[in-house]
Structure 1
Amino acid sequence: MAESGKRKIEAADGGNGAEGQEESVKIKKTICSDSGDGNVSACEFLLSGFETKAVLRDSAREKNIFIHGKIADQETVVILEKTPIREENLFELFKNSRLKLEMKNDIYSTYQLHPPPHLNEIKTTVVCPATEKHVKKYLRQETFLVEETGEDYRSITLPFIQSQSFSIQWVYNILEKKAEADRIVYEDPDPKVGFVLLPDFKWDQKQLDDLYLIAIVHRKDIKSLRDLTSEHIPLLCNIRKRGEDAIQKQYGVPANKLRVYLHYQPSYYHLHVHFTSLSYDAPGSGVERAHLLSDVIQNLQADAQYYHSRSLCFPLRADDGLLSKFKNAGRL
């Protein structure tokens, strides 16, 4: 399912359960514990023993690559992506870089530029231990557009979701301040309309052009867009108003320069809202998956049960189990 993509590690855990979580803690303690010299963390050398098995996907346009392999006999997915060139670094980049000529023709010339190491970083995300679902998530595959009616959701999608062991413990860890507490930009603790707002892992927080934050609601009874009714309008309005205000205060980005939306299907089944810079072509922001929060609110104001009956379209990858369910039901 997104991406992202969710956040790079926001995807469904794929049913690791208690055993998988215990193993995850164990490997972190083993690999990312202090090395003993008081200065260098073993995490710095986390990838030194990485054994590559396969390249799952790469993109020259997006300048990233997804690799499947192993770390200490644990299945691992590593995501490498080039960081953006920032305006404030241009002076140092031009002054301290070396150029190697590749070609010159009249007024045109091309070079390889070798910048200082700290200006040549590669953002790296490590998923370890990775499940088969993680590997499939990042594997390049054919996608299909599915049109789901309200009845399809109740008879096909919802039973499928309920049959899967999608762990969202990492979400509860954030809400309970057991993890990422220092990354929270804003919180409304109200149990009915409250949420936490924090940067998505896709954003390195070094420039505003690709600003990306996620609002995660405190309520645990709303899985996705399909569960929303007019009862939830105060929650959604609160997220929009307070989220936009917090971003304006923290980053100086006004509401009219933000894209605020929900995914359907979501990448994990706990209601959350995406806040991205309007200038950023964020993964999953296309019309086949993103629903503007303002539209969602207006639809619920016009029809209290709008998302219970409305047909919704979304893309599914060829290996997605939900796609098979739709095919078996004769809906594709």
Structure 2
Amino acid sequence: MSNPAAPTSLLALEQFTFERILDEDPLTHSLILLGTFPNPQVSDGVVKAVVRIEKTALSPDDGSRYFGSNGVVRKVEVEGSTDIYTWLFGWLGEDRERDIKINIICPATDVHIRKYTKQEQVMVNETPAIYEQHVKPYILAFPPSRTQWVENILTGISEKSKILYSSSEFLLLPDMKWDSKTLSSLYLIALVQDRNIRSLRDLRRHHVDLLKTIQREAHRAVREKWGLGTGSLRMYVHYQPSYYHFHVHIVNVNYQGNILGMSIGQAHLLDDVISLLELDPETGPGIFERMTLTYGLGDQHGLYQVMVEANKAAVAA
């Protein structure tokens, strides 16, 4: 039996009276609205309605026709650009809300191509010995050009207008993955000025003050600019990171859109990192020099083969 109150046409949908947002989910790109539709059959003339709006999935079949003279995308605006990275917003029609975010790496190296290729994961154990023998040389072999975009930000060549906090120690600014609009998916990045800190492995006890300052200034910035209070942020460090210049990820604690980037093994909470560093001895090797780190590694990662072989050798020994 059909429901006479159910809106089944555009004309009926236009009668919706919005009351409030019930929920939003950046992961599924959806909003849930509460409101009413008119209904003369009830005493007060309106009925409550919950409306869920979700952006449909991008079809692989459209991959070849997104851009070009007859492309699906009808309008774009540049959000930012630095070195090889550019990010834009796109509209699938002139009068629409912005539909898609477009991130471009150009020119892209083989490393970039492997990174963004679908990968099978394997868990690996990185002992201090494996780090010194295999991982550290891999990191040091990266040319400065791989992090030129970071240098451009740190030296004020790009993104200068977006900086939320600047000091001789670090910069705080919106991450390129964030649309700078949706508060529930807030995503900031802290880039340190010290080029000698490439990853978690390089952190020592004397870096605790730096990390605590990042925490404090991030909380201050989101409180003053967006009204987010204590406990509203998740701060973490990746290992292995996507690039070897030390940085801290700062996201809204309710954000689930980067769930893979917050997975166990890869993401290390900043509070935990600080606590471990505070256990460091005043002299001698630091805790991140002595720890075995366990994490997932994709089969396209440059360390994949050497880490798999090193782990096999460790088990056989």
Give the 5 Å matches for 1:7-156. 63=57, 117-156=95-134
C-alpha distance in structure 2 between counterparts of 1:262 and 1:291, whole Å = 5
| Cα distance between partner residues in 2 of 1:123 and 1:261 | 24
Residue 311 of structure 1, aligned match among 288, 292, 308:
292
| Contact 2:87–2:176, Cα closer than 8 Å, also in 1 | no
- The structure whose Rg is larger is 2
Q: Name which of 258, 283, 301 aligns with 1:320.
A: 301
- Matched-pair contact (CA < 8 Å) for 2:117–2:300: no
- From the superposition, tell whether residues 150 and 61 of structure 1 become closer, same or farther in structure 2 (CA, over 3 Å): farther
Q: Secondary structure at the match of 1:327?
A: helix
Give the drift of 1:208: 0.8
For residue 260 of structure 1, the aligned residue among 235, 239, 245 is 235
1:162/1:288 Cα in 2 relative to 1: closer, same or farther (>3 Å)? same
Closer, same or farther: CA 77–201 of 1 in aligned 2, 3 Å: closer
TM-score relative to the length of structure 2: 0.66
- Kept in 2, the 8 Å contact 1:64–1:82? The answer is no
How many percent identity over aligned positions?
36
User: 2:278 matched to 1:301?
Assistant: yes
Residue of structure 1 equivalent to 2:4: none
RMSD over equivalenced CA pairs, Å: 3.2
Q: Give the Cα separation in 2 of the matches to 1:80 and 1:170.
A: 16
CA contact 2:124–2:308 (8 Å) conserved in 1: no
Matched, 1:237 2:215: no
- 1:215-270 deviation digits (Å, cap 9, x = unpaired): 00111110111001101111111111112111211111123011011111111111
Give the deviation of 1:77 after TM superposition: 10
| Contact 2:85 2:149 (C-alpha < 8 Å) held by counterparts | no
**Does the alignment pair 1:175 with 2:150?**
no
Structure 1 residue runs of 4 or more that deviate by more than 6 Å after TM superposition: 65-69, 76-83
- AA at the equivalent of 2:265: E
Deviations 1:76-95 (A, max 9, x none): 99999999xxxxxxxxxxxx
Gaps of 5+ in 2: 1-53, 69-83
Cα distance in 1 for residues equivalent to 2:154 and 2:98: 34
Return closer, same or farther for 1:228/1:258 CA change in 2, 3 Å cut-off. same
Tell me the CA shift for residue 139 of structure 1. Answer: 1.0
Q: Secondary structure at the match of 2:103?
A: strand
Find out whether 1:291 has 2:268 as its counterpart: yes
CA distance in 2, matches of 1:317, 1:238: 33
Q: 1:61 to 1:160 in 2, by over 3 A?
A: farther
Report the TM-score when normalising by structure 1.
0.64
Higher relative contact order (CA 8 A, sep 6+): 1
| Counterpart pick for 2:186 among 211, 229, 234 | 211
Q: Could you tell me which residue of structure 1 aligns to residue 171 of structure 2? A: 196
The answer to whether residue 197 in structure 2 is matched with residue 222 in structure 1 is yes
